[in-house]
């Protein structure tokens, strides 16, 4: 009975069986830390989990007001504040409320770094953000003052 099957038909049957086998197994590429922790809290290794097959980058967002760090996968490439592609890991800070730091990186588990607040010891980070916001406000005020005097 098998002798009547042509080579092409046999190849098609083999291809179908192979496709069915691969469809039933999960294929993952990138693995990132996923979940939510508090600033200064160590990242649990169980949070390192596979991303969906179309994820390109790992991300980390730190909220300096709530002191919550969120980590996860992203399907986009990393970009700078102007929206330009970045091939290197990058972090951007928002200097207006909400005060956030958003980091993006390539590679398994690259978003595990401790929060910047933990490195700075908590209140120094808030102080630096506060000073930055005040300086930005003063520079805007001085520009407005110069325009009004001319």
Query: pLDDT of 106-117, one tens digit each?
Result: 999 999 987 654
Residue 46 belongs to domain spanning: 31-149
78 within some domain? yes
5 lies in some domain: no
pLDDT in tens, 83-131: 999 999 999 998 888 899 999 999 999 999 876 544 444 444 455 555 6
Q: Provide the Cα torsion 81, 86, 90, 94; round to 10°.
A: 10
In 64-141, the DSSP E strands lie at 68-74, 90-93, 100-105
pTM score over 0.75: no
Looking at the structure of the chain, the number of domains it has is 1
Q: Is residue 128 part of a domain?
A: yes
In a domain, 145, yes or no: yes
In a domain, 16, yes or no: no
Return the CATH number at 119: 2.10.60.10
């Amino acid at each position: 009975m098998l002798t009547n099957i042509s080579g092409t038909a046999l190849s098609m049957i083999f291809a179908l069986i192979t496709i069915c086998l691969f469809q039933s197994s999960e294929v993952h590429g990138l693995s990132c830390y996923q979940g939510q922790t508090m600033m200064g809290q160590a990242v649990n290794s169980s949070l390192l989990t596979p991303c969906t097959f179309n994820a390109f980058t790992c991300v980390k967002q730190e909220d300096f007001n709530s002191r919550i760090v969120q980590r996860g996968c992203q399907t986009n490439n990393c970009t700078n504040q102007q929206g330009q592609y970045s091939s290197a890991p990058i972090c951007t800070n928002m200097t207006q409320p909400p005060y956030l730091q958003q980091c993006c990186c390539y590679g398994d588990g690259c978003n595990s770094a401790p929060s910047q607040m933990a490195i700075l010891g908590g209140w120094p980070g808030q102080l630096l953000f506060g000073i930055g916001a005040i300086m930005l406000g003063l520079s805007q005020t001085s520009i407005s003052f110069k325009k009004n005097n001319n």
